[in-house]
Structure 1
Amino acid sequence: MLYWLPGTGASSARLYRESLRQVNEWISGSAGAPVTVPTGCSVFPEELQCPSRRLAERRFPNIRCWNEPGHFRAFEQPALFVEEVRSFFRLVR
């Protein structure tokens, strides 16, 4: 309803349309050098870009933590999301 009532659905979708190719290039590693710092990934299955770990490792070869929580995890279950973030940082301290 937040997009329907004010008639802003098209403009809200514009961000996805314009950034989809660029984000896919970042994930696949074809855009720029690999990111070698310790990395934690939360892949949300209903998102437009949902890479496999194998594909993400092309760009981020030092993945220390890989999780596939439900959609909008931070909003639906904030305590579990906070624990996920903390567990990653425990690994890299």
Structure 2
Amino acid sequence: MPPLAPPDPATLDDLTGAERAALATLREADEWGSGYSAQQSTRSQTVGYGLVDSPAALCAWIVEKFWSWTDSGGDLHRVITWDELLDNLMLYWLPGTGASSARLYWESLRQVNEWISGPAGAPVTVPTGCSVFPKELQRPSRRWAERRFPNIRYWNEPGKGGHFAAFEQPALFVDEVRSFFRLVR
């Protein structure tokens, strides 16, 4: 999946170290970590049957993403407790929404990818705040983000956090949201 703010082709000959690292992370994720996305966007119902029929399958499918996408240094329970993981899993298991959550990719991924990286992507001009967490897979630079989001009012790159930053670092996440909204209220 392309980043929300793809690289500006004009900058590819003049990348910063952070931009090179961000592109390397995306390449690695595309090569080794995008199987779930391909499965859910092409055969979501197949995986969906397992997610609603087997608690072990649901647990493996979801917890692997938490393990891979958190800023945990390989020790997931350093940032998310067993109870928090189980609470999250139960939000899918009890109402039986594993299949519909997978189907979201089938229903929308192509359109989202076109919106993100296609030439017709109109700028988003509302006041925008960006918190780019260090272990998020998609970490655009500010100059890349400003092409799509020209009205960035808040930009920060916190020192910790991953894809599930609100879950991993709730106090830090709240501080980030508050910092942005203080500027636009």
TM-score category of the 2 structures, normalised to the smaller one: 0.5 to 0.7
Greater fraction strand: 1
- Rg (Cα) greater in structure: 2
Q: 1:4 and 1:92 mapped to 2: Cα distance?
A: 39
Please, which moves more after superposition, 36-45 or 22-31? 22-31
Counterpart residue number, 1:68 = 157
Distance 1:45 1:23, change over 3 A: farther
Give me the identity figure in percent. 91
Is the CA contact 2:137–2:163 (under 8 Å) kept in the aligned structure 1? no
Q: Would you say 1:53 and 2:142 are equivalent positions?
A: yes
Counterpart residue number, 1:9 = 98
Distance 1:36 1:63, change over 3 A: same
**CA deviation after TM superposition for structure 1 residue 52, in Å:** 0.8
Is the CA contact 1:29–1:59 (under 8 Å) kept in the aligned structure 2? no
Distance 1:26 1:47, change over 3 A: farther
1:2 is paired with a residue whose SS is: helix
Please, which moves more after superposition, 71-80 or 13-22? 13-22
Is the CA contact 1:53–1:66 (under 8 Å) kept in the aligned structure 2? yes
Asked which structure has the greater RCO (Cα within 8 Å, sep 6+), the reply is 2
Distance 1:35 1:64, change over 3 A: same
**CA deviation after TM superposition for structure 1 residue 83, in Å:** 1.4
What do the CA deviations read for 1:18-59 (whole angstroms, capped 9, x no partner)?
Answer: 988866665567342111110001223333322111001000
- TM-score relative to the length of structure 1: 0.63
2:153 is paired with a residue whose SS is: strand
**CA deviation after TM superposition for structure 1 residue 10, in Å:** 13
Please, which moves more after superposition, 47-56 or 7-16? 7-16
Distance 1:91 1:3, change over 3 A: closer
Q: 1:63 and 1:29 mapped to 2: Cα distance?
A: 21
Partner residue of 1:24 out of 99, 110, 113 = 113
Please, which moves more after superposition, 1-10 or 51-60? 1-10
Unmatched 5+ stretches in structure 2: 1-89
Distance 1:18 1:41, change over 3 A: farther
Greater fraction helix: 2
Is the CA contact 1:43–1:68 (under 8 Å) kept in the aligned structure 2? yes
